[in-house]
Structure 1
Amino acid sequence: MAVPPARRVSAASARAHTRKQKQRNSIFSPGLIRKILAVLLVGLAAWFYQSIQPPAPKICGTLNGPPVTSPRIKLKDGRHLAYLESGVPKEKAKYQIVFIHGLDCTKSNVFPFSLEVLEELGVHVLSFDRPGYGESDPNLHQTVKSIALDVEELADQLKLGPKFHVIGFSLGGQLVWSCLKYIPHRLAGAAIIAPIANYWWHNLPANLSKETFAQQPPRDQWALRVAHYAPWLTYWWNTQKWFPASSVLAHRSDHLDAKDKEILLSVGNRYSEQVRQQGDFASVHQDLIISYQKWEFDPMDLRNPFPANEGSVHLWHGARDIIAPVALTRYFAEQLPWIYYHELPDAGHLFPLADDMSDAILKALLA
């Protein structure tokens, strides 16, 4: 006998009901699995967000922060800059020089100018801890422009006069470009020493950028890519243990020329404990971001700040520099004929620290 249609529908409904009941009773029901996955994803996202957040800096002079032992000025925005003066007294000086230190250094890592030359030429040297280094307050919102303005305000508060010279080394040399861009009216001259280049400056030929970038160790290439494309990951990338981070920040010596290694052994760094005492992110990580982010200008956009030869810009580089490939500096020297270019064929990155080299740089700048 055929089952009436109504009975067939009823049986199907019963089977569906039984199936749903089993799913509800099962610990692996689709609904529960979706909830578990959602919780795991939220937890993973929270963990990752926390892991990429740098710890708060230990600001000098605050509770649990390092002590303040150097003279400092207070900037308009409330931050402090620590400084160091050397050479002849500024009131008697013929030349005022502001020195900009490089990556992983402090104001004490100024070039070893001889006192005899400083006195002979009448030079007063002012070096300072860049934001986040040594005893200068961090500036987690700093830009290439803000650093140039810090230099100007420092010079004003310490009464260096309407014009002064700037000397910058390595990453500090790169920042001299920003002084030439934003405060050229305050400069009497400038020396850019072994400057780091931003491989993403828009006026660099693509083939030259690619070629010189490829000369960097793979671990450094990745660290620079992160600083440029995902700066918010810079702290995590250079502190995680899964991939090799920046060799420079890890103090590896494989990025140094043989002569650089000799110089490093001879001079050492007595101030290494002070460099990052406020935190790695506030100092060296910020440097990577500033150096390799998208700049508002390119050095190739600059015009001669001394059209009447009332001052001069000098660019120095060692041909055996591994940290900052010399090919990029050569290109800038070729394209900016108003710059006096000095290339040392047998020198690496640390050549200014060799005997008498810093005095030669100083004499050339002030000649």
Structure 2
Amino acid sequence: MAGKILVILLIGFLAFAYQAIKPPPPKICGSPGGPPITAPRIELSDGRHLAYKEQGVPKDEAKYKIVFIHGFDCCRHDVVIASTLSHDVIESLGIYIVSIDRPGYGESDPHPQRTPKSLALDIEELADQLELGSKFYVVGFSMGGQVVWGCLKYIPHRLAGAALLTPVVNYWWPSFPSNLSTKSYYDQLLPDQWTLRVAHYLPWLTYWWNTQKYFPSSSVAAHSPDIFKTQDMQLGPRFDGSQEKYRVW
């Protein structure tokens, strides 16, 4: 009898653990019960949709055609270079910017099997459908930098140039000097160190770690002010103010 109870308890625990580590199904934009579609989107070759936003001069008049990739907790509206450059500068330099919602963000369909290569190919397909020409520029902000690295590796022949703005790095990259990456890793807040350890060594636990309440997880996801310097705190309200236009709380 005791053995049967233990088996039932074990099955119950495993079922609970499975539900805890499995992310809920995404709500697809335009589907029943899902958010509405408000942005222009392209349909990719695998049937997914990628939302985008165009800014700057008309692309057929542009000297510089830039694909901008946003960071964490952002979307196609958060284009750092567009918000920091004046309209006159953009006009005089002939800058055209198309920003995207990365897969699973904003109004772009999720892609659970995405890889650095698939993200780069998404960018290439976007450029082809929008007729940006044989070469274009890519700019990645924060976590958007991973997409730029993928573009440099998988579609370098399509790039006129690439830029990284405050990119997030992988502390386990072998090409980094180990003393530098180690020091930088331990300069982070302790919750962020543990979040990265979980994501690196136990990626299947990432969703649970970022949603559980027993231990402090990502300071970035929690919008903790502890991660900011004095200058960041001064500029933060300007960034938050720009996001109020489209955020739904």
Superposed pair shares fold, TM > 0.5: yes
CA distance in structure 2 between the aligned counterparts of 1:74 and 1:272, rounded to whole angstroms = 28
Tell me what 2:151 maps to.
Answer: 179
Q: CA deviation at 1:226?
A: 1.1
Q: Quick check: which has more Rg, 1 or 2?
A: 1
2:213 pairs with 241, 257, 266, which one? 241
1:212 pairs with 164, 171, 184, which one? 184
The reply to whether residue 125 of structure 1 matches residue 94 of structure 2 is no
Q: CA deviation at 1:271?
A: 3.5
Show CA shifts across 1:45-96 (max 9, x none): 1111111111101111111111000100000010101100011101111221
Tell me what 2:30 maps to.
Answer: 61
Unpaired stretches in structure 1, ≥5 consecutive residues: 1-31, 278-367
Q: CA deviation at 1:208?
A: 2.3
Show CA shifts across 1:171-199 (max 9, x none): 11233121111111001111111111101
Aligned to 1:91, the other structure's residue is in SS state helix
CA distance in structure 1 between the aligned counterparts of 2:213 and 2:73, rounded to whole angstroms = 21
Unpaired stretches in structure 2, ≥5 consecutive residues: none
What does residue range 62-141 of structure 1 map to in structure 2 within 5 Å? 62-111=31-80, 112=83, 113-141=85-113
Q: CA deviation at 1:170?
A: 1.1
CA distance in structure 2 between the aligned counterparts of 1:60 and 1:182, rounded to whole angstroms = 29
CA-atom RMSD in angstroms? 1.7
What does residue range 153-164 of structure 1 map to in structure 2 within 5 Å? 153-164=125-136
Q: CA deviation at 1:241?
A: 1.1
Paired residue type of 1:109: D
Tell me what 1:221 maps to.
Answer: 193
Q: CA deviation at 1:160?
A: 0.4
Paired residue type of 1:73: I
CA contact 2:116–2:146 (8 Å) conserved in 1: no
CA distance in structure 1 between the aligned counterparts of 2:63 and 2:242, rounded to whole angstroms = 31
Tell me what 1:6 maps to.
Answer: none
Aligned residue pairs, count: 246
Q: CA deviation at 1:238?
A: 0.7
CA contact 1:167–1:176 (8 Å) conserved in 2: yes
The reply to whether residue 48 of structure 1 matches residue 20 of structure 2 is no
- Give the 3 Å change call, closer, same or farther, for CA 230–272 of structure 1 in structure 2: farther
CA distance in structure 1 between the aligned counterparts of 2:166 and 2:248, rounded to whole angstroms = 22
The reply to whether residue 189 of structure 1 matches residue 161 of structure 2 is yes
Q: CA deviation at 1:272?
A: 6.3
CA distance in structure 2 between the aligned counterparts of 1:167 and 1:210, rounded to whole angstroms = 27
Aligned to 1:82, the other structure's residue is in SS state strand
CA distance in structure 1 between the aligned counterparts of 2:232 and 2:95, rounded to whole angstroms = 28
Paired residue type of 2:19: Q
CA distance in structure 2 between the aligned counterparts of 1:232 and 1:274, rounded to whole angstroms = 32
Q: CA deviation at 1:206?
A: 2.7
- Give the 3 Å change call, closer, same or farther, for CA 115–257 of structure 1 in structure 2: same
Aligned to 2:79, the other structure's residue is in SS state coil
Q: CA deviation at 1:211?
A: 1.4
Q: CA deviation at 1:270?
A: 4.2
Paired residue type of 2:119: I
CA distance in structure 1 between the aligned counterparts of 2:198 and 2:244, rounded to whole angstroms = 25
Aligned to 2:163, the other structure's residue is in SS state strand
Paired residue type of 2:23: P
Tell me what 1:149 maps to.
Answer: 121
CA contact 1:104–1:276 (8 Å) conserved in 2: no
Please, what TM-score do these two structures have when normalized by structure 1? 0.64
Structure scoring higher RCO (CA < 8 A, sep ≥ 6) equals 1
Paired residue type of 1:241: K
Tell me what 1:315 maps to.
Answer: none
CA distance in structure 2 between the aligned counterparts of 1:67 and 1:269, rounded to whole angstroms = 23
1:230 pairs with 202, 209, 217, which one? 202
